[in-house]
Homo-oligomer: A and B are copies of this chain.
Amino acid sequence: MEPYTLSLAEASRMMRDGGLTPTRLAESLLDRIDRLEPVVEAWVTVDRAAVMEAADAATMEAEEGRFRSPLHGVPVGVKDIFYTKGIRTTMGSTLYSGFVPDRDAAVVETLREAGAVVLGKTETTEFALHDPAATRNPWNTRHTPGGSSSGSAAAVSCGMAPMALGSQTGGSVVRPASYCGVVGFKPTYGLLSRDGVYPLSWSLDHVGYMTRSVEDAVLALKTLKPDAAPAGEVDETPRIGLLGGYFKENASDEAWLGFEQAVGKLWGEGAEFIDVELPLSFGMAPSVHRVVMAVEAAAVHEDGLRANPEGYREYIKGFVSSGLLAPATAYLRAQRIRGIILRDVLSLMGGFDCLACPSTVDTAPRGLEWTGSPAFNAPWSLTGLPSVTVPSGVSEDELPLGLQLVGRPQRDHDLLAVAAWCEEALGFPKGPRDPYTP
């Protein structure tokens, strides 16, 4: 057994039991990175010496019986928009290609204090928007891994890291996680600190992460946010609101069929499903999301774009420019409609443990030019509701599909409890994937 194949929880247990050291785990992951990186291109920066130094320190503490948290000695990938002290942080932009922060983002600091090892910085689209990174999808290297947390999803998928931090403004955690067949979790808006994370659109930006199991996601949340509300008492089988409408209309035939098959499997295991009709206001979510995001991104990049227009790639340039044109009243109107959408969605969640829909419109698109549509994730970024994707199956051409579950605000552990039940019932293989190139 190679340590890189272990899930976060498995590795954590083995390190406690003495069957594995942080040093050995880090070595195994660095070897895996060395071997696969030329094909996957998930990393911007991996400082081998710094990783081994941190791993050795964790090993020494472990030998003294000191385990700081379930993440003690666990190497974690960090999306390259999170500030890392002394490690280059590029934002996926040439403008920041030489930028070395003098501080850690708050969650990175929490990770280090918890004994986790910063394994390196993962590829991101430019400023976490749409201009793609070079990263490939391990399930099929001719396909995108999704974005913007491209490197984090691909790295976790192929066993370069058991966990990686990402961020989601539209669909940048759940979508790439689903495309790469891993678990992607976007907690309630604001639950994990955005401090030290380069903003894309601050009222929509969420810190989240990828793992290969829901159990891992639970351990990570307990470590990153110890005071998050614990899971309440749960019935043995969940009661889930089934979202059709917008999701059915926009899903590919294959994605919807896969979703129905997953629902059928869960139903067979005893889950209860009730059709939920989306509120009328939900139809405005995509345009409201776009206005808020374009305007806030424009506020972030207005000065930069004026000073260095050649430093921006095409998509973000157009997006920021569109945001600069928006009148302030359009932005305020969008924010007000956003409040109405949230109120309306909350009003229909009463009787359920969570809502369910496909994680993405389709499987990962072919090619690396486009990171795919965030259409099924952006509404949950807009409403700030916690959402998680659990791998649910594969398409005909062997690309993963995901089941997206959406929970109540601040009830993140409740949502993960249902996700764990679904993961168990769906039985998708959790081991890392060797990259496949057809």
The residues of A with any CB-CB pair to B shorter than 8 Å are 295-296, 298-299, 302, 323-333, 336
Contact = CB atoms under 8 A, between A and B. Distances in A.
Contacts of A296: 332
26 contacts: A295-B328, A295-B329, A295-B332, A296-B332, A298-B328, A298-B329, A299-B328, A299-B329, A299-B332, A299-B333, A299-B336, A302-B329, A323-B328, A323-B329, A324-B327, A324-B329, A325-B327, A326-B327, A326-B328, A327-B327, A327-B328, A328-B328, A328-B330, A328-B331, A331-B331, A331-B332
A339 to B, nearest CB: 12
Contacts of A333: 299
Interface centre among A298, A327, A328 (most CB of B within 10 A): A328
Nearest to A332: B299
Contacts of A330: 328
Contacts of A328: 295, 298-299, 323, 326-328, 330-331
A195 to B, nearest CB: 15
Nearest to A334: B328
Contacts of A324: 327, 329
A421 to B, nearest CB: 41
> How many copies make up the complex?
2
A167 B60 CA distance: 64
Nearest to A296: B332
A328 B299 CA distance: 8
Contacts of A295: 328-329, 332
Given A299-B329, A331-B331, A331-B332, 15 more contacts: A295-B328, A295-B329, A295-B332, A296-B332, A298-B329, A299-B328, A299-B332, A299-B333, A302-B329, A323-B329, A324-B329, A326-B328, A327-B328, A328-B328, A328-B330
A127 B66 CA distance: 65
A434 B78 CA distance: 73
Contacts of A331: 328, 331-332
A326 to B, nearest CB: 5
Nearest to A320: B329
A328 B298 CA distance: 9
A335 B275 CA distance: 42
Nearest to A336: B299
Contacts of A332: 295-296, 299, 331
Interface centre among A324, A327, A331, A336 (most CB of B within 10 A): A327
Contacts of A323: 328-329
A324 B332 CA distance: 11
Nearest to A335: B299
A208 B333 CA distance: 27
A179 B119 CA distance: 66
A304 B298 CA distance: 29
Nearest to A302: B329
Contacts of A325: 327
Which 3 residue pairs of A and B lie closest in terms of their CB atoms, listed nearest first?
A328-B331, A295-B328, A299-B332
A289 to B, nearest CB: 15
Nearest to A331: B328
A325 B328 CA distance: 8
